[in-house]
Amino acid sequence: MINTRVLLASRPVGLPKNENWKIETVEAGQPAEGEFLAEVLYISLDPAMRGWVNEGKSYVDAVGIGEVMRAGGVARVIESSNPGFAVGDYVAGSSGVQKYWISNGRDVRKVDPELAPLPKYLGVLGMPGMTAYFGLLEVGELKAGDTVLVSGAAGAVGAIVGQIAKIKGCRVVGIAGGEDKCSYLTGELGFDAAIDYKSEPLYPAVKKHCPEGIDVYFDNVGGETLDVALAHLRLNARVVICGAISQYNKTTAPGGPKNYLSLLVNRAKMEGFIVFDFAARYSSAIRDMSRWIDEGRLQAREHIVEGLETFPETLLMLFDGRNQGKLIIKV
């Protein structure tokens, strides 16, 4: 069996380029005792990938030069020497950007294509869904009646954040790029308002749509957007630092938030988090999310691009906003 895989060839400076990746074909290999071999069907593309290929200390080790690019994936077991996994099982885990994956089963969960289409396990029922759920409810300490502002609002995490906030009885304003994404938020997802940051100045728009200020700001973007949100906090507001995609390709260090003294004046807090810290509680979150999906109160879309070889170009869609929902490669 021949494996096609994407390796990190060199560390990107700024936006990743084709030359930073190497696509190669090699023997897929055989699973050793305790391992299984799986055919990867879908691969998750995440903004975090940009951080994983940087040198230096982070919340996970950097992907090494010459290593298979790290990625979440959904796969079907085709050979198994691990008693926990049978041929035909569908599994989700850190498959890497490759066609065949050998795993010892650690941190791998079984998924059921009868319960949800497989791509959903990389989106709303996977890491981005968990990020939205725990980031908003735990880190953001959401309360009914809160005014919630979320950036990256039409994306995999942001769209779920806004809908959970609506389910919990909040007023929700989303920030997204472009008219289509904004009308998706207010028309289909039930957001109370949407701000197109690409066509309107952010500060007056946030002031207009959050006239009483913001109780929870869920930040996916960082930079100027975070500054504007800080300038509109209410008393005891919570600022959730989920991500800062506007900063990931910068070649200079990110500037500090200008308006941080708003935290002091408003007795507010700002807290970052990593979704993996909540892994022990994913199953209860998935139960809630599945119920909301069944009740028609939570929806999610996936943006699926075909072909493993498209990885270098498809990844860039995250950084110019071409993805409409959770970005996934169908292998």
Ligand X SMILES: NC(=O)c1ccc[n+]([C@@H]2O[C@H](COP(=O)([O-])OP(=O)(O)OC[C@H]3O[C@@H](n4cnc5c(N)ncnc54)[C@H](OP(=O)(O)O)[C@@H]3O)[C@@H](O)[C@H]2O)c1
Residues near ligand X, by CB under 6 A: 46-48, 127-128, 131, 152, 154-158, 176-178, 181, 220-221, 242-246, 273-275, 318-319, 321, 323, 327
Residue 84 CB, shortest distance to ligand X, in Å, is: 26
What's the rounded Cα separation, in Å, for the pair 113 and 57? 37
What's the rounded Cα separation, in Å, for the pair 15 and 5? 21
- Residue 171 pairs in a beta bridge with 147
Using the minimum distance from each CB to ligand X, give the nearer residue, 152 or 312: 152
The CA radius of gyration of the chain, in Å to the nearest whole number, is 20
Residue 219 CB, shortest distance to ligand X, in Å, is: 8
Residue 155 CB, shortest distance to ligand X, in Å, is: 2
Q: Cα(first)–Cα(last) distance of the chain, in Å?
A: 15
Q: Provide the token pair at 256.
A: 């500090």
Using the minimum distance from each CB to ligand X, give the nearer residue, 157 or 172: 157
Pairing verdict, β 269-272 and 2-8: unpaired
What's the rounded Cα separation, in Å, for the pair 267 and 106? 42
Q: Are 257 and 241 in contact (CB under 8 A)?
A: no
Alpha helices in the chain (DSSP H): 48-52, 127-134, 156-167, 179-183, 202-209, 223-230, 261-265, 282-294, 311-320
Using the minimum distance from each CB to ligand X, give the nearer residue, 31 or 152: 152
Residue 197 CB, shortest distance to ligand X, in Å, is: 7
Residue 105 CB, shortest distance to ligand X, in Å, is: 23
Give the nearest residue (CB) to ligand X: 155
- Report the amino acid identity of residue 208: K
Using the minimum distance from each CB to ligand X, give the nearer residue, 79 or 302: 302
Using the minimum distance from each CB to ligand X, give the nearer residue, 204 or 254: 254
Residue 28 CB, shortest distance to ligand X, in Å, is: 29
Using the minimum distance from each CB to ligand X, give the nearer residue, 118 or 202: 202
